[in-house]
């Protein structure tokens, strides 16, 4: 029994890394722009398909391919922001963005169906099925790389936010948009770049998801509710919180799976509700500064 | 605006509308058309029920499928347990509504403690817990779901009867929504939406007010969920508790005009038949989703406050020929006016 | 309305316009194509709703190909009794509300003569109720869960006909094979992970019961949720038990792929691996898991591209000609859909027309019909009692081979132990 629990914890940490990669972009966008990006799940799949095209057509390694998919996704993000998000104003902005991003998700999904068909595909490389034997566990390379990448990415985004000039403008916008505007910050530009960065980071999450699961255009819907739960638990806008919450939630889920796989997700959501009732701002969140 | 002569056209408009709704299946009696009517009425009810909580209070619920699915399952389980068949099953409808109300109390007590995004995510989480319960318990039929009892109506009378039942639910919900809106209760709800802390400061018992609206909304949603189940003849965890259900309902409310009585009705009348029609066009298959997404985008971007408020403003502007209107609030502030309170209504 | 237009009467106006426009549009659509129903001359119009998008889109699109291929072949050979076939497929986006709408549209607005089934048990039950109220037979190939046949509407109307193999017994040739082995060679331990699905669980549970009776020890038997993110944990737990045999209650390729990937990462190769569905998807399976890894994987089904049946071979040839690819890449969904068409064609010929009441009676009469999936003969609830059950196995990097029942026509020798991954 003990060995099963250890195995479940190892699984939870490794899979949690993949979820963190998918959640970081969402929480960043959420924190800065104050919107729920329903399209995040579909953007993950878009990132996965981009990597798929590069690896099957041009035979570029999955990780090398990120050098191309990240900038491409950044541009897609900036375009989505410029075309749709930027225009939304006013008291119902939150709900509006919910709908706009849902619409964007529908369109992206439709386009992916047209381009790739409905058959499931998976990203393949030598390291997606091989593993390293460590302390009695087989650790699949793809998850190990993914976890390292998640930590690196979280650090990078953290440094960007807390050690750079641009980061200061982002954080200022996060805390008080009006005040940021008053001190001369171009809030629109900051928002566009943040949305772009959030979507760019998702390219990595998409590649990792595609390398660990078979997917088609419709797979994104299963993801969004979990990702939302994770970023709320981690605290909105908290990058480190997203990683911690991913690992915590997925570990909890995989431990429960030992006894009752069918109740595992229920425990996941019940834990979320419980935590929020006790601590509405999540693990690492600041108090809601924009409470209406 | 309280002059009695103004009430006349309003009442007249209502009667025309109701007469039209009742006459609809007689004007277009083909079951292929009345089917659209049934789904439209189901979603008019859902959107109005959602709106009388979320639209008035500002708490966006993405968990109303909890009530919809529970209503369906309560009817299925009860009919099976008590061996009900045929029209006798409809006697369970009050029970289904009651079940929705009962579920809404603990759900609301937990979820309504948090606000805005966090509230949205808590409702999603509760929604998934309910879907999982439907999957995992044996009395819900697990992943196979439940089939409805047999109803031996012919095709035409089947659609017609369900249309009438769904229409009755829709009219009832609209009336309740309208009564709430013009009551002090509705005023308190909107005070919460505008500024909850100030509302509390002014002595509004916010939790009690929010919870009451949530319970009423949940009961009505459960009621129509049960009707849907009997029409559809089966419910399964992923159809009763469908994650896209709530997004569709929010979209309906926003398209028509969020927070107004009539907005969600119009939104549902446009979106539900529109989506069904769009998907069933063979020449559009493959791009239906893209078209749908594009329409949603266009609506949110160009008519951001919904058709009814936008239309109201447009007519007001037309009528006053650009001179300051009777109610200058619209012209003065762009954003502080809650959607759904255009020119005329007070 | 003169002095002011209060908000509700504006709404009344808007709603009235909406309703009238929608109604007229729908009515126009209705009358434009009206009058086709019931005529005994001209083309036979057939309608179906399929999940071309959404959850079931992978299977739905394969089914679409099957229906269209059948219609093309039938028309090329002169139609049914001299009448050409006109096929209308609507997309239900994997949503039962849409399926209900689509079948009502097909029956009452397009006035189709016959209805073919949708994909999945989830959509089939409501679709069958709609068809029953319209007096139509619903001939289908992919709504095999027991609940589809046991639903009160079907018990009252008996209008569902599933041309495919009833799923509950599909693992039985495999069980018989284990039974035929000397006890020393039988697997000692077995794991039964099952996706939570009405289609996946019954055959696995039946197999578990039978194998336990043969002395195969169950080391793992759990149902897991059918969501992609959850596969690694249960798969790793199965791997940690190192059972000789894994019977996986799967419904699709991603589930099987995730288990295989996790097994490989854990350096665990089951001696026998038999998922309930997924490996039967031809190229859709091998392209997702890799042809080399597929070696030795078994799957129960009623049909495979190499099936030694002249009709089936003809269909596979036509498929490759129309859609490209190679023979073993043909999805079993295609054959299921194609067989639906063949059964319908036979019923139309036998009853001399498209009277659905006669067709329902004929199909229940116990008549034996031949299809690309072999013989079809319906019982009182519409299940195909005559369907052949086979076990197939992927061999030699991409050859999909019939291996069980041993000795049956077309069965080749079984790869008794699954080779290790990627070898």
Q: What is the pLDDT along chain C (423 residues), one digit of tens a residue?
A: 333 444 445 555 565 566 656 555 555 444 433 333 445 678 999 999 998 888 888 889 899 999 999 999 999 998 898 899 999 999 998 889 999 999 999 999 889 999 999 998 889 989 999 999 989 999 998 877 777 888 887 888 889 999 888 888 889 899 999 999 998 889 999 999 998 887 788 889 999 999 999 999 999 998 888 765 668 888 988 998 899 999 999 988 888 988 998 898 888 999 999 999 889 888 888 888 888 888 899 999 888 888 888 888 899 999 999 988 888 788 888 999 999 999 999 999 999 888 999 999 999 998 889 898 888 899 888 888 888 788 999 988 788 888 988 877 778 888 888 888 865
Domain spans of chain C, in order of start: 44-166+314-376, 168-302+390-404
Same domain? B168 vs B297: no
In a domain, B234, yes or no: yes
**CB of C107 within 8 A of CB of B128?**
no
Same domain? B133 vs B255: yes
Q: What is the rounded CA–CA span in Å between residue A94 and residue C281?
A: 43
Mean pLDDT of successive 10-residue stretches along chain B, which has 346 residues: 55 82 86 92 96 92 94 94 88 94 94 83 88 88 87 86 94 94 91 88 89 96 96 91 87 85 90 87 74 80 75 75 51 41 36
**Domain that residue B314 falls in:** 288-346
Q: What is the rounded CA–CA span in Å between residue B44 and residue A159?
A: 50
Domain final residue, candidates B232, B256, B277: B277
In angstroms, the separation between the Cα of residue B110 and the nearest Cα of chain A is 7
A 10 A CB-CB count for B259 gives 28
Q: Which residues of C touch A7 (CB under 8 A)?
A: 236-237, 240
Pairing relation of β-strands C189-195 and C245-248?
parallel
Q: Which residues partner with C80 through β-bridges? A: C83
Same domain? B52 vs B197: yes
Q: Which of B258, B343, B344 is nearest to B299 (CA)?
A: B258
Same domain? B215 vs B323: no
User: What pLDDT was estimated at residue C48?
Assistant: 94
Same domain? B94 vs B178: yes
Contacts of C376 by beta carbon, 8 Å cutoff, 6+ apart: C163, C339, C343, C368, C369, C370, C384, C386, C387
The ipTM, to two decimals, is 0.84
> Which among B32, B40, B141 is the top mutation candidate for probing chain C, defined by the most C β-carbons within 10 Å of its own β-carbon?
B32
Per DSSP, C420 falls in state P
- Which chains border C (3 or more CB–CB pairs < 8 Å)? A, B
Q: What is the rounded CA–CA span in Å between residue C165 and residue A267?
A: 38
**CB of C392 within 8 A of CB of C161?**
no
Per DSSP, C214 falls in state T
Cβ-based interface (< 8 Å): residues of C facing A: 52-55, 57-58, 60-61, 196, 222-225, 227-234, 236-237, 240, 252-254, 257-258, 261, 264-267, 283-284, 287-290, 293, 421-422
In this complex, do C90 and B285 lie within 8 Å of one another by their Cβ atoms? yes
Query: What one-character-per-residue DSSP string does C23-60 give?
Result: HHHHHHHHHHTTT-TT-SSSPEEEEEEE-SSSTTHHHH
Same domain? B248 vs B323: no
User: What pLDDT was estimated at residue C19?
Assistant: 60
| Preceding omega of C165 cis (within 30 degrees of 0) | no
In this complex, do B276 and C98 lie within 8 Å of one another by their Cβ atoms? yes
A 10 A CB-CB count for C272 gives 23
User: What pLDDT was estimated at residue C386?
Assistant: 82
User: What pLDDT was estimated at residue A292?
Assistant: 28
**CB of B114 within 8 A of CB of B49?**
no
User: Would you state the torsion angle of the CA atoms of residues B127, B130, B135, B137, taken in this order, to the nearest 10 degrees?
Assistant: 170
Contacts of B113 by beta carbon, 8 Å cutoff, 6+ apart: A277, A280
Question: Which residues in chain B (190-229) have CB-CB distances under 8 A to chain C?
Answer: none
Contacts of B36 by beta carbon, 8 Å cutoff, 6+ apart: B272, B273, B276, B277, C22, C26, C101
Return the structure tokens found at B243. 């994650």
Same domain? B272 vs B292: no
**CB of C294 within 8 A of CB of C423?**
no
User: What pLDDT was estimated at residue B3?
Assistant: 45
In this complex, do C232 and A215 lie within 8 Å of one another by their Cβ atoms? no
Q: What is the rounded CA–CA span in Å between residue A97 and residue A26?
A: 13
User: What pLDDT was estimated at residue C178?
Assistant: 92
CA C288 centroid distance within chain? 19
Which CATH number covers residue B130?
Answer: 1.10.3470
**CB of B69 within 8 A of CB of B235?**
yes
Q: Is the backbone of residue C79 left (phi > 0), alpha (psi -120 to 50) or beta?
A: left
**CB of A217 within 8 A of CB of A116?**
yes
Number of structural domains chain B divides into: 2
Same domain? B174 vs B144: yes
**CB of C275 within 8 A of CB of C299?**
yes
Domain final residue, candidates B216, B244, B277: B277
In this complex, do A36 and B247 lie within 8 Å of one another by their Cβ atoms? no
Same domain? B208 vs B301: no
Same domain? B214 vs B293: no
Which CATH architecture best describes the domain C44-166+314-376?
Answer: 3-Layer(aba) Sandwich (3.40)
In this complex, do A213 and C229 lie within 8 Å of one another by their Cβ atoms? yes
Give the domains, in start order, of chain A with CATH numbers.
2-278 (1.10.3470)
In angstroms, the separation between the Cα of residue A70 and the nearest Cα of chain C is 23
Kindly state whether A109 is in contact with chain B, defined as any CB-CB distance less than 8 angstroms.
Answer: yes
pLDDT per residue rounded down to tens, chain A (292 residues): 778 888 888 888 988 999 999 999 998 888 878 788 889 999 999 999 999 999 988 888 888 899 999 999 999 999 999 888 887 776 677 777 888 888 889 889 889 988 888 788 888 888 887 888 888 788 888 889 989 988 998 888 888 888 888 888 888 877 777 888 888 888 888 889 989 999 999 999 999 999 988 888 888 877 888 888 888 888 877 888 889 999 998 898 888 888 888 888 888 888 888 887 777 766 666 544 333 2
Return the structure tokens found at B323. 């001179």
Domain final residue, candidates B225, B249, B277: B277
User: What pLDDT was estimated at residue B341?
Assistant: 39
In a domain, B52, yes or no: yes
Out of C8, C93, C104, the one facing B32 most closely (by C-beta) is C104
**CB of A21 within 8 A of CB of A150?**
yes
Out of A38, A95, A102, the one facing B60 most closely (by C-beta) is A95
Kindly state whether B30 is in contact with chain C, defined as any CB-CB distance less than 8 angstroms.
Answer: yes
Helix orientation angle between B65-81 and B243-256, rounded to the nearest 10 degrees: 130
User: CATH says C168-302+390-404 is which class?
Assistant: alpha beta
């Amino acid at each position: 029994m003990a060995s099963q629990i250890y195995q479940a914890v190892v699984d939870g940490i490794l899979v949690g890394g993949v979820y963190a990669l998918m959640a970081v972009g969402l929480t960043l966008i959420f924190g800065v722009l104050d919107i729920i990006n329903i399209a995040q799940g579909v953007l993950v799949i878009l990132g996965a398909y981009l990597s798929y095209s590069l690896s099957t057509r041009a035979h570029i390694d999955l990780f090398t391919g990120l050098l191309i998919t990240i900038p491409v996704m950044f541009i897609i993000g900036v375009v989505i922001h410029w075309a749709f998000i930027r225009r939304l104003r006013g008291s119902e902005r939150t709900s509006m963005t919910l709908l706009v991003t849902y619409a964007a998700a529908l369109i992206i999904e439709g386009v992916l169906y047209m381009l790739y068909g409905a058959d499931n595909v998976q990203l393949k490389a030598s390291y997606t099925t091989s593993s390293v034997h460590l302390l009695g566990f087989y650790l699949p390379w793809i998850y190990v790389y993914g976890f390292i990448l998640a930590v690196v990415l979280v650090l990078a985004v953290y440094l960007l936010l807390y050690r750079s000039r641009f980061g200061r403008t982002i954080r200022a916008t996060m805390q008080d948009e009006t005040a940021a505007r008053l001190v001369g910050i171009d809030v629109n530009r900051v928002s566009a770049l943040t949305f772009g960065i959030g979507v760019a980071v998702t390219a990595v999450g998409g590649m990792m998801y595609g390398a660990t699961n078979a997917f088609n255009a419709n797979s994104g819907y299963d993801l969004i509710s979990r990702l939302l739960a994770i970023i709320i638990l981690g605290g909105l806008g908290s990058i480190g919180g997203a990683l911690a919450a991913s690992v915590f939630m997925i570990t909890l889920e995989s431990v429960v799976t030992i006894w009752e796989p069918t109740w595992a997700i229920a425990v996941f959501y019940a834990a979320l509700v419980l935590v929020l009732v006790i601590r509405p701002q999540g693990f690492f969140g600041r108090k809601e500064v924009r409470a209406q | 605006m309280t002059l009695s002569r103004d009430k006349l056209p309003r009442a007249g408009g209502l009667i025309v509308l109701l007469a039209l709704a009742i006459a609809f299946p007689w004007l277009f009696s083909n079951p292929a058309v009345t089917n659209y009517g049934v789904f439209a009425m189901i979603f008019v009810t859902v959107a109005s029920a959602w709106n009388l909580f979320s639209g008035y209070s500002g708490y966006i619920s993405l968990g109303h499928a909890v009530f919809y699915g529970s209503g369906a399952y309560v009817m299925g389980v009860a009919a099976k347990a008590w061996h009900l068949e045929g029209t006798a099953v409809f006697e369970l409808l009050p029970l289904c509504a009651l079940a929705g109300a009962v579920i809404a109390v603990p759900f609301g007590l937990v979820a309504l403690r948090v606000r805005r995004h966090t509230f949205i995510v808590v409702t999603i989480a509760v929604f998934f817990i309910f879907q999982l319960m439907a999957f995992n318990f044996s009395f819900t039929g697990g992943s196979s779901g439940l089939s409805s009892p047999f109803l031996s109506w012919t095709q035409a009378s089947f659609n017609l009867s369900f249309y009438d039942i769904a229409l009755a639910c829709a009219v009832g919900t609209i009336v309740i929504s309208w009564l709430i809106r013009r009551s002090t209760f509705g005023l308190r709800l909107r005070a919460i939406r505008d500024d909850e802390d100030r509302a509390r400061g002014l002595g509004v018992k916010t939790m009690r007010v929010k919870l009451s609206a949530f319970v009423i909304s949940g009961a009505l949603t459960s009621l129509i969920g049960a009707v849907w189940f009997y029409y559809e003849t089966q419910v399964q965890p992923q159809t009763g508790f469908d994650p896209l259900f709530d997004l569709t309902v929010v979209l309906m409310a926003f398209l028509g005009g969020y927070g107004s009585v009539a907005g969600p009705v119009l939104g549902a009348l446009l979106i539900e038949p529109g989506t069904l029609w769009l998907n069933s066009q063979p020449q559009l298959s493959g791009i239906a989703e893209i078209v749908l997404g594009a329409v949603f985008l266009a609506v949110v971007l160009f008519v951001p406050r919904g058709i009814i408020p936008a239309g109201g403003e447009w007519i007001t502007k037309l009528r006053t020929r650009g001179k300051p209107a009777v109610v200058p609030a619209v012209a003065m502030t762009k954003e502080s006016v809650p959607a759904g309170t255009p020119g005329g209504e007070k | 309305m003169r002095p002011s237009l209060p908000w509700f009467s504006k709404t009344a106006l808007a709603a009235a316009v909406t309703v009238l426009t929608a109604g007229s549009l729908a009515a126009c659509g209705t009358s434009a194509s009206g009058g086709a129903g019931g005529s005994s001359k001209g083309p036979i119009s057939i309608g179906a709703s399929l999940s071309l998008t959404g959850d079931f889109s992978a299977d739905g699109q394969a089914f679409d190909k099957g229906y269209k291929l059948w219609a093309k072949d039938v028309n090329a050979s002169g139609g049914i009794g001299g009448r050409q076939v006109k096929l209308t497929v609507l997309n239900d986006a994997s949503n039962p509300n849409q399926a209900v709408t689509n079948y009502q549209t097909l029956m009452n607005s397009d006035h189709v003569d016959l209805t073919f089934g949708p994909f999945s048990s989830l959509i089939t039950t409501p679709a069958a109720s709609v068809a029953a109220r319209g007096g139509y037979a619903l001939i289908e190939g992919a709504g095999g869960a027991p609940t589809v046949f046991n639903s009160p509407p079907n018990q009252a109307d008996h209008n569902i006909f599933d041309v495919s193999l009833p799923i509950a017994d599909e693992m039985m040739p495999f069980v018989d094979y284990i039974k035929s082995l000397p006890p020393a060679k039988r697997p000692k331990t077995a794991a039964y992970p099952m996706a939570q699905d009405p289609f996946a669980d019954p055959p696995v549970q039946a197999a578990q019961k039978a194998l336990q009776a043969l002395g195969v020890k169950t080391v793992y038997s759990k149902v897991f949720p059918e969501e992609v993110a959850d596969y690694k944990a249960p798969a790793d737990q199965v791997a940690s038990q190192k059972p000789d045999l894994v019977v996986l209650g799967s419904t699709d390729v991603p589930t099987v792929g995730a288990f295989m990937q996790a097994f490989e990462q854990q350096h665990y190769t089951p001696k026998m691996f038999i998922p309930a569905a997924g490996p039967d998807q031809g190229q859709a399976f091998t392209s997702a898991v890799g042809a080399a890894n597929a070696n030795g994987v078994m799957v129960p089904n009623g049909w495979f591209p190499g099936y030694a049946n002249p009709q089936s071979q003809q269909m596979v040839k036509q498929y490759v000609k129309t859609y490209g690819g190679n023979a073993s890449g043909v999805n079993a969904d295609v054959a299921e859909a194609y067989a639906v068409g063949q059964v319908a064609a036979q019923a139309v010929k036998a009853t001399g027309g498209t009277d659905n009441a006669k067709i329902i009676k004929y199909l229940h009469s116990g008549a034996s019909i031949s299809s690309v999936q072999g013989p079809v003969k319906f019982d009182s609830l519409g299940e195909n009692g005559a369907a052949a059950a086979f076990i197939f196995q992927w061999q030699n990097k991409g050859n999909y081979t019939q291996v069980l029942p041993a000795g049956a026509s077309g069965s080749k020798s079984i790869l008794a132990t699954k080779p290790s991954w990627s070898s």
